[in-house]
Amino acid sequence: MGQRGSAATSPLSHKIQSSPLSADFLALPQAELHLHLEGSLQPKTVCELATKYGVSASTQDVLQRYAYREFLEFIETFKWVSSLLRAPADFALAISDLGEQLLAQNVVYAEITLSVGVMLLRHQSPEKNFEAIIAAAESFHSRGLQLNFVFDAARQFGADAAMKVVEAAERCASKSIVAFGIGGDELSIPAEEFRQVYEKAGVIGLHKLMHAGEVGGPEEIRQAIELLGAERIGHGIAAIRDPSLIDLLAERRIPLEICPQSNIRIGALAKQLGLSEAQIEQHPLPQLFRHGIPVVLSTDDPAMFHTNLRSEYENAFRMGLEDAELKRIAKMSFEYAFIDENAKVALQRSGKATSALS
User: Which residues are identified as catalytic?
Assistant: 214
How far, in Å, CA of 91 to CA of 71, rounded? 25
Helix, strand, or coil (residue 209): strand
How far, in Å, CA of 295 to CA of 82, rounded? 28
Question: What is the DSSP secondary-structure string of 297-330?
Answer: E--BSTTTTT--HHHHHHHHHHTT--HHHHHHHH
Helix, strand, or coil (residue 357): coil
Helix (H) or strand (E) holding 195: helix 195-203
- List Cβ neighbours of 162 (8 Å cut-off, separation of 6 or more): 117, 153, 155, 182, 194, 197
Point out which residues pair with 209 in neighbouring strands. Answer: 232
How far, in Å, CA of 344 to CA of 88, rounded? 30
| Buried/exposed code over 249-263 (b: 16+ C-beta within 10 A; e: otherwise) | bbeeebbbbbbbbbb
Helix, strand, or coil (residue 235): strand
Point out which residues pair with 115 in neighbouring strands. Answer: none
Point out which residues pair with 300 in neighbouring strands. Answer: 35
Helix, strand, or coil (residue 212): strand
Helix (H) or strand (E) holding 163: helix 159-172
